Structure 1
């Protein structure tokens, strides 16, 4: 299935292919708890996600080891995706940014990022 998504102002847009998304994951690390985002359970290789950025809107936040890269729009502030610490360079997508997905209805698992 082809999924499309964006930040709120659409300056960051993305597209990826995956099987039907029927659940997500939440991380309990300090930043993810504060973001409250529901993420894809799977990761995507950089070659498997097409990202379009307008007006240099993509900003990145890192902390601690600076391996995980949390990407957000510097115009509207929406967190769109991050590059994983577990699979360096691979992406997890904020499902709240994906068209056609209602995150309020998806079951989810917890990833124990607080223990890393």
Structure 2
């Protein structure tokens, strides 16, 4: 989602706060140029993911990080999905295949504090057909 526009730093966490992090987005989610991805693949649909894609350096884990997260992958095992080891909140996904979204995290905006997800512009992706 990186692009032009004013940057904004968001705080985020899983439900139990074992995993706490900040993310800087540009443009900010309230910008007319900002959007989130709503994918219809099996895992995104079941977990309710609303993703933003950011460079790894835009995310800073304060607590939990990799030590507090479990991972899951399926199908072709190109992407790892991360969730809290204690409360099960779906935090993010990232590619493990070189050249495929390399250096990028797909963060679930539902973990962001003080963001009304009903107001976000959505781009629908047909991940089910990929």
Alignment TM-score, normalising by the size of structure 2 = 0.78
Q: How does 1:28-107 map to 2 (within 5 A)?
A: 28-40=40-52, 43-51=53-61, 52-53=63-64, 56-84=67-95, 86-107=100-121
Residue correspondences, number: 114
Match of 2:123 in 1: 109
Question: Please, which of 4, 9, 15 is the counterpart of residue 16 of structure 2?
Answer: 9
1:93 deviation in Å? Answer: 1.1
Structure 1, gaps ≥5 residues long = none
Q: For structure 1, which segment, 47-56 or 86-95, has the greater mean C-alpha deviation from structure 2 after superposition?
A: 47-56
Moved beyond 4 Å, runs of 4+: none
What is the CA deviation profile of residues 41-72 of structure 1, one whole-angstrom value per residue up to 9, with x for unaligned ones? xx222222112317932011100111111110
SS at match of 1:56: helix
| Structure 2 CA distance for partners of 1:69 and 1:55, relative to 1, 3 Å | closer
SS at match of 1:44: strand
Structure 2, gaps ≥5 residues long = 1-7
Alignment TM-score, normalising by the size of structure 1 = 0.86
In 2, Cα distance between equivalents of 1:99 and 1:35: 18
